[in-house]
Structure 1
C-alpha cells in the first residue's frame, strides 16, 4: 500500500492506491494494445467471480453503465423512470440520454434512500424502470414490491455507484439476479480504475445487448473483426469500451479490496463513535454492517455557515448532493419534495477515504464541534 502514512483531511475524498497500479499499467502499455483487450476481459471475469454472478460488462464510466442499462431495459421517449432527486446529476442525465422522463420521488430522511412504499406510490402506466440509488453505499431492498414491478414489466436498475462491495444479506450488491446493477469505478470510488464502470446483467441476452451497445452496435468482437473483410452493425451504439489501461488498475484494486472494505467500515464506525456526544448532529445511517461506506454524512442546522467555517479551517467537507429537482437543467420535472429539500439544506459530507487515521477523525470532529458552536447550531458536547 502507498500513501497510508500521509493522511489528508483537507480533501473530502481521495483515491487510494496499493502500490502495484503503475506496474500494471506499464505492462499493459508494453503490450502495444491499449483498448479493449484480454486485460479488460480478465477484469470482467474477476468482478463476476467476486460478486458471485455469471457475467459482468465493463464500460467507460458509471454514467455509461446507467445509460447502457436503460437502453437494455428499452426505456425511451414517452417512458418514465422513477428516481430519487438526491443523487449525483449523472443519474438524471443518463435517463434524459435515452429520451425518458425522470419522475422524482421522496427519500427516507434517515437514509437518504428510497423505500419500497415510496416507489410503489409513484408507479404509473408510463413507468418503464425504477432506479434506486444506493446512497453512500447503503443497500436498497425492493423485494417487497418485486412481484408488483415484474407484473407491470418494470425493470429495476440499481445505481450502485457508491456501493461496490456492499451486501444485500449474504449476497454482494449485484448478485440478486433481479436488477440491472451499475457500478462506478471513478477516481474516488471504493474501487477505482482511474475511470470506469460496470453493468451486471440479469440474463445472457442483456449481456449481449450491452456489449453491442458499448461497441457502436457492432456484433463482432475486435478479434473477430480482425479476421474478416467486413463487420455488421445491428443497432444503436456508443463508444463505451473500457481500456486495458483502466482495467489493469482495476485488477490491482480488486486484489486489495478486502483491505478497503475493512478500512472504510472501521473509519465510519470511528466517526460514529466520535460524533455520538455532539448535540445537533445526526449521522446519516449507511447500515455499516451491510454497506462498504462511500460517504460519511451528517445533518446539521446552519449547514452553509458550518461548511464555510470548516473550509476556513482547511477541513475538506463537501455536500453530496444538491437535489436534482432544484437544478435549472431539470426544472421541467420539478416536484415538491419536502424531505429531500430539507436534507439538501442540512447534509454535510465529512472527509472520508482510506487515508485518515483515528487522530485525523478526532481533528475533524473537534473542528465540527467548534464550527457548530460558532454558528449557533450546537450547544457542544453532551446529549439533550
Structure 2
C-alpha cells in the first residue's frame, strides 16, 4: 500500500512556522522580560486590527479564553449552558470551571456545527448561555434565533478555537458582537506556541476579562511597583499570555494571508480528490469563507478504515469522541443518536501546511485501496 514517506506529511496535524518566529522569540529573550509586557499588548492590538474589533485580550490558552469569557459574561452555578457534545473536551471543562451545567446537544451532520433550530429546541428556563463550536473553522450563524436569545438574556460565547481568520455572514469571526474565544495552540491556523484570546463585546467586559486573567488585580504594572502595591478586586487566575508566546503570534500575523490560501487550497484538493468515492461524505467547512482547520470525512465502518490507514503510515485521527459519552461527564448524559452515529463515522485526514498535492493524492489513493480491500473481504 502507498505510504507517505515524509515524516511531516504523515502526521494528522503539524505546526507551521515561517522562520521569523525564532528571531522574534530571541529578541524577547535578549530583552530579559519574558512575562506579559508591551509585546503581548502589541499582539492584542494587531489581532484587534486584523479582526476589525475594538479590543482583544490575550490569555494562556483557548481553554483559558473560554473560562474567562464565561466568567465575564456572569455565567456561574445553577446556570445551564448549551454546548454540542461533539467538541474537544476543553469546551465542556470551561463550562464546569465556572460551576455551570452543560446541556449537550446534537449538531448538523453535514457541518458538525450547531444550527439555530438545534439551539431553539434545546432552550430551557435555566439556559443562560450558548457555546457554538466553529468546528473545522466554519462559522455558525445563529441570527434566526438571536432575538429569542436576547429577549431571554442568553449570552453567546463562540468557541472559535478552529476558526481564526474565518468569515461569517457579517465579516470575520470575532466581529459579530458575540464574545468570541480563539486558540493559538501549536497546530492552529495561527500559532503562538500556546495561547488564546478573548474578543469582548464592551469596554466593561474587556476590563472584567483583563482583571480575571491577572488574579483579580486592577493596577497597572507601574502602579503595582509603588509602596501601596496592588489591589485585588475579585476572583481571578494567572491567565496572562507571555511575551515569548505573543512574539510568535506577532511573527505569524503578517503572513496569515499565505496561511489562509494554503489551507483553502489543501482542503479544495481533498474535496476534488474525494468527489467520486461514494462511501465517503466530506464534512462541509464552507471553504470559500472559512480558513479550514480540519479535513474530515464520514464513513460507515470507520474503525477498520482507521486502523488500516494507520498501518500504512497515514496519520488519520478522530475529532472528537462525543462528550456526553465520556465518564467524567456522565452526570449530564442524554441520548443524542445523531452525535453517537457521527462518533462512529468521523475520520480526520492529515491536514496541515507541510502537505503537498502529492501528499493529498497519496492519502486518497491509500483510502481507495482500503475501501476496495474492505469490499473484497
Coarse TM-score class (shorter-chain normalised): over 0.9
For the Cα contact (< 8 Å) 1:9–1:364, is it kept in 2?
no
* Alignment of 1:320 onto 2:319: yes
Q: What is aligned with 1:3? A: none
Q: Distance in 2 between matches of 1:315 and 1:45?
A: 40
CA deviation map 1:338-375 (0-9, x unaligned): 11110000000000001111011000000011112223
* Alignment of 1:331 onto 2:330: yes
What is the Cα-based RMSD across aligned positions, in Å?
A: 1.2
Q: Distance in 1 between matches of 2:189 and 2:227?
A: 41
Q: What is aligned with 1:118? A: 118
Q: What is aligned with 1:85? A: 85
Where 1:95 maps in the other structure, the secondary structure is helix
For the Cα contact (< 8 Å) 1:315–1:364, is it kept in 2?
yes
Q: What is aligned with 2:198? A: 199
Q: What is aligned with 2:258? A: 259
Q: Distance in 2 between matches of 1:117 and 1:282?
A: 23
Q: What is aligned with 1:374? A: 373
- Superposed, 1:85-164 pairs within 5 Å as 85-164=85-164
Q: 1:169 to 1:228 in 2, by over 3 A?
A: farther
CA deviation map 1:105-156 (0-9, x unaligned): 1111111111001101111111110000000000000011111101101000
Q: Distance in 2 between matches of 1:22 and 1:9?
A: 22
| Runs of at least 5 residues in structure 2 that lack an aligned partner in the other structure | 1-5
Give the CA deviation at 1:170.
5.1
Residues matched between the structures, number: 372
4+ aligned runs moved over 4 Å, structure 1:
none
For the Cα contact (< 8 Å) 1:302–1:375, is it kept in 2?
no
Q: What is aligned with 1:345? A: 344
Q: Distance in 2 between matches of 1:222 and 1:48?
A: 22
Q: Distance in 1 between matches of 2:35 and 2:250?
A: 16
For the Cα contact (< 8 Å) 1:7–1:356, is it kept in 2?
no
Give the CA deviation at 1:279.
1.9
Q: What is aligned with 1:365? A: 364
For the Cα contact (< 8 Å) 1:7–1:357, is it kept in 2?
no
Where 1:129 maps in the other structure, the secondary structure is strand
TM-score normalised over the length of structure 2: 0.97
Give the CA deviation at 1:7.
7.2
For the Cα contact (< 8 Å) 1:25–1:245, is it kept in 2?
yes
CA deviation map 1:241-278 (0-9, x unaligned): 00000000000111111000000000000000000011
For the Cα contact (< 8 Å) 2:139–2:173, is it kept in 1?
yes
After the TM superposition, which of the residue ranges 282-291 and 161-170 deviates more from structure 2?
161-170
TM-score normalised over the length of structure 1: 0.95
Q: Distance in 2 between matches of 1:264 and 1:144?
A: 30
Q: What is aligned with 1:169? A: 169
For the Cα contact (< 8 Å) 2:170–2:176, is it kept in 1?
no
Q: Distance in 1 between matches of 2:213 and 2:319?
A: 29
Give the CA deviation at 1:73.
1.0
Q: What is aligned with 2:229? A: 230
For the Cα contact (< 8 Å) 2:141–2:169, is it kept in 1?
no
For the Cα contact (< 8 Å) 1:7–1:355, is it kept in 2?
no
Q: What is aligned with 1:31? A: 31
